[in-house]
Amino acid sequence: MNIDLTGRTALVTGSTSGIGYATAKSLAAAGAAVVVNGRDKRRVDDAVDKIREETGSTTTTGVALDLATAGGAADLVAGLADVDVLVNNLGIFQAVPVFEIPDHEWTRFFEVNVLSGVRLARHYAPRMAQRGWGRVIFVSSESAVQIPTEMVHYGMTKTAQIAVSRGMAQELAGTGVTVNTVLPGPTLTEGVRDFIADRVGGDVPFEEAERRFMEVERPTSLLKRLIRPEEIGHLITYVSSDLSSATTGAALRVDGGVASTLIP
């Protein structure tokens, strides 16, 4: 398959590292004019430079804004009125016993993981529909369908993303705009590396810590390893393309088989 996104503009939120960065790089390699996002201007600039160097892209740019806030979203759309592909990747996670999560943390996780994407889709998706083509992708998680006991508030937001995505897809039926969620499994990002070190022990070599984590805490994984960010980025790039035109309202698993369910 030849995925060609030349002439398309793609915004990837939270894309200075991890899954977001890998997605931005993959989209740029496919020809899209990618907008990288993060809160720190130096990290955004570094990510843009790296993507340009690694892909040869001359159209990758960056915007340093906190898109977890209504003000940040408003500033973004004021300067970037339209995109063809919106990848809502911005998100946070943290292990906390469920009965110890205070109200403000439930609210914070919902604001960052759900409302950040809702605000942007609310602006960009109707404008995509007016043009007759667009892609909105929410980066959810297998935690949406297999709630992690140590991160119930995180799992709640991931489930909410599936519901929001499906509802938006229904609203945009027949417009040429598709809305989907992608459900990664445990993925080797900087944050997950630190998370595993905290769970297993910082004095354990990472390769052994990864093995123990997968064996003990994610035993249903069929890969028996952490997914690499580029493996997520490849699926998102496909969903962003013309080749995925019949896929909408879907929750697409790229979880290494860790969710022991048939659907989604």
233 inside domain: yes
Of 219, 96, 102, nearest to 151 by C-alpha is 96
Across the beta sheet with 177-184, what order do the strands follow?
61-64, 33-38, 9-12, 85-88, 134-139, 177-184, 251-254
Tell me, what's the pLDDT at 191?
87
176 inside domain: yes
Q: What would the 3-class secondary structure string for 218-247 be?
A: CCCCCCCCCECHHHHHHHHHHHCCHHHCCC
Say yes or no: 106 and 201 in one domain: no
Say yes or no: 218 and 247 in one domain: no
Distance between CA 90 and CA 140 in Å, rounded?
A: 10
262 inside domain: no
Question: Which is the catalytic residue, given 21, 124, 154, 238?
Answer: 154
The tokens describing 66, both together, are 């906190």
The tokens describing 200, both together, are 């297993």
Say yes or no: 169 and 72 in one domain: yes
Tell me, what's the pLDDT at 42?
98
3 inside domain: no
Contacts 24+ apart (CB under 8 A), 117-121: 117/13, 117/88, 117/90, 117/161, 117/164, 118/164, 119/67, 119/70, 119/73, 120/11, 120/13, 120/67, 120/73, 120/76, 120/77, 120/86, 120/88, 121/86, 121/88, 121/164, 121/168, 121/179
Say yes or no: 56 and 174 in one domain: yes
In percent, how much of the chain has pLDDT > 70?
100
The tokens describing 145, both together, are 């369908």
Structural domain total, the chain: 2
Q: Mean per-residue pLDDT for 113-122? A: 98
Tell me, what's the pLDDT at 133?
98
- Residue 261: is its pLDDT beyond 90? no
CATH code of residue 66: 3.40.50.720
236 inside domain: yes
Tell me, what's the pLDDT at 11?
99
Say yes or no: 105 and 209 in one domain: no
Burial letters for 184-201: b for 16+ Cβ neighbours within 10 Å, e otherwise?
Answer: bbbbbbeebeebbeeebe
259 inside domain: no
Say yes or no: 170 and 198 in one domain: no
Say yes or no: 30 and 141 in one domain: yes
* Cα separation values, 141 from 19, 70, 113, 179, 246, Å: 12, 24, 11, 16, 22
Distance between CA 128 and CA 176 in Å, rounded?
A: 8
Tell me, what's the pLDDT at 174?
98
Say yes or no: 201 and 127 in one domain: no
Q: Mean per-residue pLDDT for 121-132? A: 98
Say yes or no: 137 and 236 in one domain: yes
- The predicted-structure confidence for 137-196, as pLDDT tens digits, reads as follows 999 999 999 999 999 999 999 999 999 999 999 999 999 999 999 999 999 998 899 989
Judge whether 154 counts as a catalytic residue.
yes
Boundaries of domain holding 103: 9-183+229-254
Say yes or no: 60 and 122 in one domain: yes
Say yes or no: 79 and 144 in one domain: yes
* Cα separation values, 29 from 15, 59, 196, 220, 251, Å: 15, 11, 31, 33, 25
| Choice among 9-18, 36-45, 196-205 with the minimum mean pLDDT | 196-205
Say yes or no: 24 and 144 in one domain: yes
State which H helix or E strand residue 159 sits in.
helix 152-171
